[in-house]
Structure 1
Amino acid sequence: MDENNNERGHGRDETEEERADRRWGDLLQELRVAQTGVQILFGFLLTVAFQPRFGELSDTDRTLYSVTVMLGAATTGVLIGPVSMHRLLTGQRLKPQTVVWASRLTVLGLFLLLCTMACALLLILRVVLADTLASWLVAGMVVWFVLWWFVVPVWGRATYRTRE
C-alpha cells in the first residue's frame, strides 16, 4: 500500500496482493482484445501461401510475406506468454512480479503487433498499388498506431504526474 496516495486522498486502500489481483484482471482484459486481433490476422496470414495467386508474387513480396508471418508468430507467442507465466508461477507468491513481467510482455507484444500490421499492410498495398504510394500509406498508418498506442498514453502519464 502506498501511504502517500492515501494521505492525499488518491489511490485505493488495497494491499500489494489485492493491487496485483486487480492489475492482473485488467491486464487479462487488455490481452483478450489484443490476442483476438492477432489471432485473426495471423490466421489470415497463414492462408495466403495457399492461394493460387501467391505464386505470382515477386521475390521481394515473398520475403515480405515470410517476415510478416514470423512477426505474427512472435507477436502471438509474446501475447500468450503472460498466460503461461501465470500458470507456471501460480502458487509461488510472485503475483506482483508476474504482473510487472506480463505487463512488459504486453508492451512488447503491442510493438510486435505494430510491426506485423505494418508488414501486412505493406504486402497487401504493394500488390494493389504502386510501391511508393504503398510505402507512404503504411508509414502514415505506423505513425497513427504509434500515436494512439504509445504517444497518447505516455503523454497522459506525463500530464498526470506533473499535476501532482
Structure 2
Amino acid sequence: MAGIGDGVERRRGRNETEEERADRMWGELIQEVRVAQTGVQILFGFLLTVVFTPRYPGLDDTSQVIYIVTVVLGACATGALIGPVSLHRLVSGRRVKPQAVRWASRLTFVGLLLLLATMTAALLLILRVATHDDFVPWLVAGVVLWYVLCWFALPLWTRHRYTTR
C-alpha cells in the first residue's frame, strides 16, 4: 500500500460529474441556509413587534430611524436567505442546477451580509435604549468585529491556508 512520502501522488478532491457536484453543493447550501434563515426569521419577527409596544412612541427620532432601518435590513436579509428556496423551486427539473447553485450561493452570501447589518443595527438600537452611554458604539463595533472574524475572516483564512499551494 502506498504511503505518504513514498513517491506516489495522492489524488485530492472528488471524482464527481458537474451534476453530482451541483447536487452535493445544493444539499450543503440548503443546510447552511436553514441555520441562517432561522436566526434572521426570529430576529425579524421580534423586530416587527417592537413598533406595537408602549415604549416605541417614546423613543427619540434617532432610535426610531435606527429601528426602521433595522426592520428594512431584516426584511431584505429574509428575502435573500429565502431566495435560494424559491430559485430552486422555479428552476427544478430544467437542467440548470450548477447555475442555480451559483446564484443561490450568491443570494446566501448577500443574505449573510444583510443579516450582519441587521444584527448590528438591532444591537445598536437595543444598547442605545438600554444604556444611553457613550461606550455603546464601541461595544457594537467590537461585536461586529467578532461577527466579521467568525463569519468571514476565519473562513477566508482557512480557504487561503488550506487551498492555496
Task: Give the TM-score normalised by structure 2.
Answer: 0.92
Alpha-carbon distance between aligned partners in 2 of 1:128 and 1:144, rounded to the nearest angstrom:
21
Determine which structure has more spread, i.e. the larger CA radius of gyration: 2
Alpha-carbon distance between aligned partners in 2 of 1:93 and 1:13, rounded to the nearest angstrom:
20
In the TM superposition, residue 12 of structure 1 has moved relative to its aligned partner by 1.1
Structure 2: where are the runs of 5+ without partners? 1-8
Query: Matched residues, percent identical?
Result: 66
Structure 1: where are the runs of 5+ without partners? 1-6
Structure 1: 4+ residue segments shifted above 4 A: none
Alpha-carbon distance between aligned partners in 2 of 1:134 and 1:51, rounded to the nearest angstrom:
23
Specify the alignment match of 2:33 in structure 1.
Answer: 31
Alpha-carbon distance between aligned partners in 1 of 2:49 and 2:10, rounded to the nearest angstrom:
55
Higher helix share: 1
Task: Give the TM-score normalised by structure 1.
Answer: 0.93
Give the secondary structure class of the aligned counterpart of 2:14: coil
Alpha-carbon distance between aligned partners in 2 of 1:71 and 1:132, rounded to the nearest angstrom:
25
Equivalent residue pairs, number: 157
Specify the alignment match of 2:136 in structure 1.
Answer: 134
1:104 to 96, 106, 111: 106
In the TM superposition, residue 132 of structure 1 has moved relative to its aligned partner by 2.1
Specify the alignment match of 2:3 in structure 1.
Answer: none
Alpha-carbon distance between aligned partners in 2 of 1:17 and 1:29, rounded to the nearest angstrom:
19
Alpha-carbon distance between aligned partners in 2 of 1:130 and 1:55, rounded to the nearest angstrom:
17
Alpha-carbon distance between aligned partners in 2 of 1:61 and 1:25, rounded to the nearest angstrom:
40
